[in-house]
Structure 1
Amino acid sequence: MTARPLVGITSYLEEAAWGVWRQPAALIAQSYLDAVGRAGGTAVVLPPQTGGSGRLLDRLDGLVIAGGSDIDPARYGAPVHPLTGPPHHARDAWEFELLHGALERDLPLLGVCRGMQLLNVALGGDLVQHLPEQTGGEGHQIAPGTYNRQPVMISPGSRLGGILGKSAKVPCYHHQAIGRLAEGLRATAWSADESVEAVELPEQSFALGVQWHPEADPTDTRLFDAFVLAARKESN
């Protein structure tokens, strides 16, 4: 029997409530774990912490940088926009450490929403801190806690194009986006307003970020299937 690849998923660090308790907690939406499991992987949650990332990455077959809060604009040398969320320094530091370590090891990497933005910032790019000011519309985040399915056009010669084809309709929920693209990153998908919706690192075996939330659509498993397949090759 082929071993299931071990996939790490980064997590939130937020105030949460369960039963009679309300306190800081490391948590992640179950949809991420389900997406990895459906694709044939075993998911482990990687809460923000100090140290140990190298030893951890040596045991993983793939890494998912999950969606979540806005990245601290100090990471890309920008002042804070009034609509940028408060910084989560512990999560930022942990995920930057994991991401750089994963790239050094050529570990299969999938960045989701914030995860794609983190990939761009970690490699020297920056972000548009409030996208509606640039696009003039609210189509990428229509209401709190509500995904908006919108079409994206995909570069046919890209890794993503090989997975999804030349276009897809995807669940979006973000108010920030890539501004200046980092050197070495390739933009591979765009929305109708020309916002970058996916990037990849061609020199890596599998390093891909999408601005949307593929884990939120259990009817289209192609992206997680391709990612876990890459992780399976890493485990062999």
Structure 2
Amino acid sequence: MPILPVLSSGSRVLTGGSDAGAGWTRLPPMFRRMLRFQHMDFELALWQLTYLCIAPRKVYKQVYYHKQTHNTWARNDPAMLILISASLACGCITWSVVYSLGPVGGIRLALVMVFRDFILTGLIVCSLLWRTAPGTVQTDPGNVEWAYAFDVHCNGFVPLFFLLYVIQLILVPVITQDKWICLLLGNLLYLIAFTQYFYITYLGYNALPFLIRTEVILLPLIPILTGFVASLLGYNIARKALTLYFGA
């Protein structure tokens, strides 16, 4: 049984409107339900946001149950996507105040953080992992859903958001100072954030029973850890990143 409704060749009408409708129905349910706020389970999404930061394994324990009840590994509720995007947009207000960006600068920053940092980067990363999944798959590669790959990115982005968009904001006066201990603190923040991202991504693919050798997803941690150790010689990652964003 297909996960998404598709039109049969006999029922397809060759008109522009029908083609657009067919394309819409092929979108993952999470994207087709973006405006149905009354049907979103924000309470569950908040629970998942919390546990992704403190005990991410608990979130993935529900994956198999979700597959059995909804016939899909991916979420069909966009509440998580909405909450992360809204949190980023709200965080931009504080960042704009700290760096005196003004209303226009704040809107531009929100667009960058939501659409580039979160969504566009997520589309690229999840598509790469989705395409390379056949290299670690035990049965049919088609069992790996693209929408699930995007779900995994959203999950991994949660602790990264908390560390780099919230905690880093609080620590800006400290981590930008010309002291080695401040450099260590800022660089450690980035190390933990990206380690958490790849670890949660690994958990997401490891939760699929038909995948093998999912530990290869953790390989990027080797250059990340190497880069962290090298940066302790005098490269302040946090200050360089903030300079790219705010020029200060």
TM-score by length of 1: 0.27
> Which protein has the bigger helix share?
2
Q: Greater relative contact order: 1 or 2 (C-alpha under 8 angstroms, separation 6 or more)? A: 1
Identify the structure with the greater strand proportion: 1
TM-score (norm 2): 0.26
